[in-house]
Amino acid sequence: MPSSLGRRAAQVGGAIVVLAWAAALFAPILSPYDPAAFERMQLAPPGSTHWLGTDEIGRDVLSRLLFGARSSLLVGWLAVVIAISIGTVVGLVAGWGGGVVDAVAMRSVDLLLAFPRLFLALLVIAFWGPSAWLVTVVLGLTGWMTTARLVRAQVLALRDREFIVAARAVGMPVRRLLWRHLLPQCTGTIVVAATLMLGNTILAESALSFLGLGVQVPDASWGGMLNEARGVWRSAWWLALFPGVLITCTVIAHNLLGDGLRDWLDPRMSRIESAERGNSE
Amino acid sequence: MNALAPMPSTPSLALLEVEGLRTEFPSAEGIARVLDGVTFTLARADTLGLVGESGSGKTMTALSILGLVPPPGKVTSGAVRFEGTELLKLGPEALRRVRGRRIALIFQEPNGTFDPVMQVGAQVAELLREVGDVETRAADREAVDLLRKVHLPDPSRVARLYPHQLSGGMGQRVAVAMALAGRPKLLIADEAASGLDLTIQAQIRELLSEVQSERRMAMLWISHDLGSVAQVASRVAVMYAGRIVETGPTRRVFGAPHHPYTRALLRARPTLDRRRRSLEALAGAAPLPTRLPAHCPFYDRCPAREERCRQEDPIERSVGPAHKVRCLVDPSSGAS
Amino acid sequence: MLVFLARRLFASALLIVGLLTLVFFVVHAAPGDPLQSYVVAETDAATIATLRRQLGLDQPVPVQYVRWLRSFLFEFDFGTSITRRQDVRSVVLEALPHTLRLALAALVVRLALGITLGVLAALHHGRRTDVGLGLGALLFYSIPSFWLGLLLLLLFSWQLGWLPSGAVHSLDADRLAWHARWWDGLQHLALPVIVLGLGGAASTFRYMRAGMLDVLSQDFVRAAHARGLRRRTVVLRHALRNALLPVVTQVGWSIPALLGGAVVVESLFSWPGLGRLTVEAIGQRDVPVIMATTFVAGVTAVLGSLFADVLACWLDPRVRLEA
């Protein structure tokens, strides 16, 4: 996209992300009703009392959507934080250590990348039992690989730079070197990797919730709401429309933000590379 | 072998006439005028050398002639007449038909100019079909013939090679073969022998002159290497800051240069002459294309400058038979 | 080329063993007794002990690992399904072809759309077509596949009645003539394939566009123009072929994601493939099936990526002629 349009798009994306977070954080205040409370008005279409209608048990859709934002955003962002933490550590250690450590780390990366992420998540969920926390951890544990590769590449590139060599010559302990000198250089790459991952992670969480294996009832989640409404889709169009629209908009916003940040922080990353980073459908 | 190029033929109907060619690029710092009124002519079957330092606009001249200026750059004024046709006014399809068929271009790094995933023979054959109007069935065979003509050993084997398997010299021969596919009347060689081993350089120059005389082709030999120009070109044009500052028969321009820049160029060449111990480099740098002065662009570095040089922009004047200079100063009077 | 092939095959073999190990590890690291799903609450201790011995669960973990590895890899014995009372291998083999068919068809859709539109966008770089396609790609990249499927179902199946809403064949498909049956199959395949293919098409589109723009700025492309070749020749013959090389590799590496996406699509459209099998098995706590399906999915992904890697290597003469 031409850069002026791209910049504007990134700003719009960022604004929507902030809005989503605001909705999530202030859900208890913003919700007109208790999301778990069910009333006699079942399957009510959008109207004056329930602005976005009610579901088949009588819960207010708008309130559930607001609380659903919490699920999606918390799980998504937390999973990404876990993923980049693991990935950064692995990348630093592998890039710096070299040899066996590097080989082991990179083979692990290859192994985990070869496994379809969703199947691995299903495997873990099958044996540990579905829950929002588990999904967060699993998505984090299956998302660190790209970050690790990126950080490792940065470390390898920076290893022989003068300021690093000088620090080593002075006898600086490795841990301090990695933390105080190498890590700051990688922040740009890490931020870009993180934001590009957010969209996919939110999609993964909603998919798992849709399958009933993510955020569990009665907690609200957008994917879960779509699943719950499966039986009544044809008559209650509002139950099928709003959660999906919100997921899509949120993911679009995160992707726009990610693209914009990439252009700003790491323009050297070619378009090919960044298309690759974000790709894990 | 041939120490100096022959004297130029009598000025016949010019094959290529470039007049006042101006090419500009918009940039963050303003308009960059990369070509500032380039003017020269080239006669049929003749060879004109175009010399100058990097950035003087030599390559851009070749690109401008063929309408290959990369956007956002544009040719903003001037005329380019080839065999009477005004090239700058041609539409894109007509211009495409000029490339390869009437004017061909060869580049400095030949192997980077070939499709990396296609055998070179197939690429030559493709050109023969599209630009040489050869029948499809005959193209492969003629491609091998063409490779043989440029003295590639075992041409049918070479035809099956991929570009990354060619050496620099081989690649340049293939490039020459490609250039000949359309039977052009003019060959523009942009640093065609630079970056190769010296012996290979000489071989390529020989090949080109052989091909030239056989096909009565004119050649525009672009180079920063004065020695190669002296070997190959009967006439030479010296470029500085996007314009031609001196042009004339090679012997005269190199033997008795008029323009202070030409003199400086000649002085700066390493020589085995015992009398000179150090290389004379020219201080300073050429003006930026975004900040061309209204007066002579060589003023700041010119050892022979005068007060009037700062006030007006010199126009071309004749200083001998077919020898023109763009300078206000007469070298016989001032210091040099 | 042969050296490359051998090395990749070896790496893939290692990966498969690694997958098995990972699956084993996950299952055994989980809290709780794997035996729980096999037994009903009232079973007495003696039966439980016998069962434990039968399943080999009384052995130390490393021994179990080796035994399990051997039965999976060399005997292809995946055990017996708890709920279906038939051996897991046949259950999985029944489901696998459906997933493969879905995935391959989706791959075709994805490549066809992604490549053509990506090239188109690159050729109209910066203009309205490019921006429009880019926005479309962003949309399909961000939309959850199950929601897209739902919307398409609503439109094409329930509103318009053009396409069926699930399953591989209509119930009476056996009674149809072969061409009618084929058409019926195609109708059932249409929506799931579109849903699975569109998301992937968006990412292939981005990749293709980026790659094409890169190639178009390279020296040999400008030289080809300078030599007088027609624009169509330069773009389609030379630029495109070079730009396709990294796309093949990228598609190969996204096969795991494709299989993952199949899980959701299969669940939505009641498609009897590996994904839906896994989800059902989780609900039924059918341990052997879960282990087998995840493993098979992993192996399929590895083999798919291997194939794509080899193909990419073969297509690029610079790599092919290396060894």
> If pLDDT is split at 50, 70 and 90, which confidence band does B222 have?
very high
Q: Name the domain count of chain C.
A: 2
* Residue C82, in any domain of the structure: no
Chain C residues closer than 8 Å to B165 by CB: 321
Q: The domain spanning residue B249 has which CATH number? A: 3.40.50.300
**Do C21 and C156 sit in the same domain of this protein?**
no
* Residue B171, in any domain of the structure: no
**Minimum Cα–Cα distance from A128: chain C residue:** C30
- pLDDT for position B271: 62
* Cα of C178 to nearest chain A Cα, Å: 33
> If pLDDT is split at 50, 70 and 90, which confidence band does B1 have?
very low
Higher pLDDT, C191 or B276: C191
Q: What is the pTM of this model?
A: 0.83
* pLDDT of C137 higher than 90: yes
- Please answer whether residues B129 and B141 qualify as being in contact, where contact means their C-beta atoms are separated by less than 8 angstroms: no
> If pLDDT is split at 50, 70 and 90, which confidence band does B57 have?
confident
Residue C271: which domain range? Answer: 92-322
Place of tokens 């000179």: B276
Chains B and C form CB pairs within 8 A to the count of 77
Among B101, B105, B165, the residue with its CB nearest the CB of C226 is B105
Q: Which of C50, C95, C79, C5 is nearest to C276 (CA)?
A: C95
Q: Which of C22, C47, C75 corresponds to the end of one domain?
A: C75
Chain A residues closer than 8 Å to C31 by CB: 128
pLDDT digits (tens, 9 = 90+) for C6-24: 888 888 888 888 888 888 8
* Residue B156, in any domain of the structure: no
**Do C108 and C238 sit in the same domain of this protein?**
yes
CB contact under 8 A, C229 and B70: no
Q: Does chain B reach chain A with at least 3 CB pairs under 8 Å?
A: no
CB contact under 8 A, C199 and A123: no
CB contact under 8 A, C150 and A226: yes
CB contact under 8 A, C227 and B107: no
CB contact under 8 A, B112 and C241: no
Strand ranges across the sheet with B218-223: B103-106, B186-190, B218-223, B47-51, B235-240, B243-249, B323-325, B317-320
* pLDDT of A281 higher than 50: no
Among A1, A116, A233, the residue with its CB nearest the CB of C257 is A116
pLDDT digits (tens, 9 = 90+) for B256-290: 888 888 888 888 776 665 555 555 666 777 788 88
- Give the range among A1-5, A246-250, B62-66, C165-169 with minimum mean pLDDT: A1-5
* Cα of A146 to nearest chain C Cα, Å: 13
Among C246, C260, C290, the residue with its CB nearest the CB of A116 is C260
* Residue B76, in any domain of the structure: yes
Sequence length of chain C is 323
pLDDT, averaged across chain A: 83
The highest-level CATH class for domain A3-280 is mainly alpha
| Helix A183-210 × helix C128-142 angle, to 10° | 60
Using CA atoms, how far apart are residues B223 and A87, in angstroms rounded to an integer? 52
Does the complex come out with an ipTM higher than 0.90?
A: no
The domain locations on chain A are: 3-280
How, if at all, do strands B317-320 and B243-249 pair?
unpaired
**Do C10 and C134 sit in the same domain of this protein?**
no
Q: Which ranges of B82-197 would DSSP assign to H, the alpha helix? A: 92-98, 120-130, 136-149, 155-159, 168-180
- pLDDT for position C172: 67
CB contact under 8 A, C228 and B113: no
- Is any Cβ of chain C less than 8 angstroms from the Cβ of B90? no
Q: Which of C48, C75, C102 corresponds to the end of one domain?
A: C75
Q: Name the domain count of chain B.
A: 1
**Do C267 and C129 sit in the same domain of this protein?**
yes
**Do C116 and C152 sit in the same domain of this protein?**
yes
CB contact under 8 A, C254 and A281: yes
- C-beta neighbour count of C307 within 10 angstroms: 14
Q: Does chain B reach chain C with at least 3 CB pairs under 8 Å?
A: yes
* Residue B323, in any domain of the structure: yes
- Please answer whether residues A61 and A242 qualify as being in contact, where contact means their C-beta atoms are separated by less than 8 angstroms: yes
* Cα of C129 to nearest chain A Cα, Å: 11
* Residue C198, in any domain of the structure: yes
* Residue B236, in any domain of the structure: yes
Chain A residues closer than 8 Å to C143 by CB: 244, 247-248, 251
Among C230, C241, C315, the residue with its CB nearest the CB of B96 is C230
* pLDDT of B10 higher than 70: no
**Do C66 and C101 sit in the same domain of this protein?**
no
**Do C57 and C193 sit in the same domain of this protein?**
no
* pLDDT of B219 higher than 90: yes
The tokens for B220 are 């525009």
